[in-house]
Structure 1
Amino acid sequence: MNVQDKFDQIMQEAAQVAIATLTVDGQAPDVRIVLFVYLPETHQLLFMSGADSAKVAEITAHSVAAFTTQAVSEQKYARAKQAKIQKVTLTDSMKQAYFDKFPNSAAYAAHNDFFTVDFNSVDVTADKQTETLTF
């Protein structure tokens, strides 16, 4: 299995991602675990967060982030260090992808903001090896 296939498997199987941003004052990193879906056409993660949450305030102040997926299938995970987060208006395809993966979350969508995480490269760890995948 090549690195792209490993990455695709991880992104399909993982449901949660830990996203690190800076605190509003920029003095320390802060990590939150959120549900996410991977959008392969644009190489983005999509997640939602409460509109009035501390995480949204952090993203507004500092859009630079890092993330790691939860480990899946024999300790496989994906990790990116230089990512950018932005608030988005959902397209129909984004909505469908998110709610297909998390059907129970549709009830919460009206009270949350959605964000994409953009990244150009990701470290993929599988089979006790780490390889970098660049888009």
Structure 2
Amino acid sequence: MSAKDKFDQIMQEATQVSIATLTVDGKAPDVRIVLFVYLPTTHQLLFMTGTNAPKVAQIAAHSAAAFTTQAVGNQNFARAKQAKVQKVTPTEAMKKAYSDKFPATAAYAAHSDFFTVDFDSVAVTADNQTETITF
């Protein structure tokens, strides 16, 4: 299986991602775990959070981010160090992808902000080997 195939499998199986951004004052990293969907056509992660959550202000102040998925299968995960997170108005396709993966969260979507995480490369660790994929 290629590194790209392993990446796709991880992104389909993982449900949570840890995203690190800077605090509003820019003095410290802050990590949060969120539910996410991978959008393969744009190579983005999509997540939502409450409009008043502290991470909304942090992201507005600093868009630089890093992330790692939860481990799946045989401790396989994906990690990006140079990512950018931004608030988006989700398309119907984005909302559908999110609600298809997490049907119980549909009721929260109307009261939440959506964000995408953009990245150009990702380190994929699978079967005790790490390979970098560039998009």
| TM-based fold match above 0.5 | yes
Helix, strand or coil: the match of 1:104?
Answer: helix
CA distance in 2, matches of 1:89, 1:53: 17
Equivalent AA in structure 1 for residue 103 of structure 2: P
1:96 equivalent in structure 2: 96
Structure 2 CA distance, aligned partners of 1:60 and 1:71? 28
Deviation at 1:111, TM superposition (A): 1.2
Residue correspondence of structure 1 range 33-52 to structure 2 within 5 A:
33-52=33-52
| Partner residue in 2 for 1:73 | 73
Ranges in structure 1 where 5+ consecutive residues have no aligned partner: none
1:18 aligns with 2:18: yes
Residue correspondences, number: 135
- Structure 1 CA distance for aligned equivalents of residues 60 and 90 of structure 2: 18
The whole-number CA distance in structure 1 between the counterparts of 2:72 and 2:45 is 17
Q: Aligned equivalents of 2:73 and 2:64: distance in 1?
A: 29
TM-score, normalization by structure 2: 0.99
After superposition, the CA RMSD in angstroms is 0.4
Q: Which amino acid aligns with 1:127?
A: D
Runs of 4+ in 1 over 6 A off after TM superposition: none
Structure 2: state its 5+ residue gaps.
none
Q: CA deviation at 1:92?
A: 1.1
Structure 2 Cα separation of the partners of residues 63 and 50 of structure 1? 18
TM-score (norm 1): 0.99
Looking at structure 2, the residues matched to 47 and 53 of structure 1 have their Cα atoms a distance apart, in angstroms, of: 13
Q: Which whole-Å CA distance do the structure 2 matches of 1:54 and 1:95 have between them?
A: 22
How far does residue 110 in structure 1 lie from its aligned partner after superposition? 1.3
Q: Structure 1: how far apart are the matches of 2:67 and 2:51?
A: 20
Per-residue deviation, 1:118: 0.2
* Deviation readout 1:27-82 (Å, 9 max, x if unpaired): 00000000000000000000001111110010000000000000000100000000
Distance 1:2 1:41 in 2: 18
Partner of residue 82, structure 2: 82
What letter corresponds to residue 19 of structure 2 in structure 1?
I
Percent identity over paired residues: 76
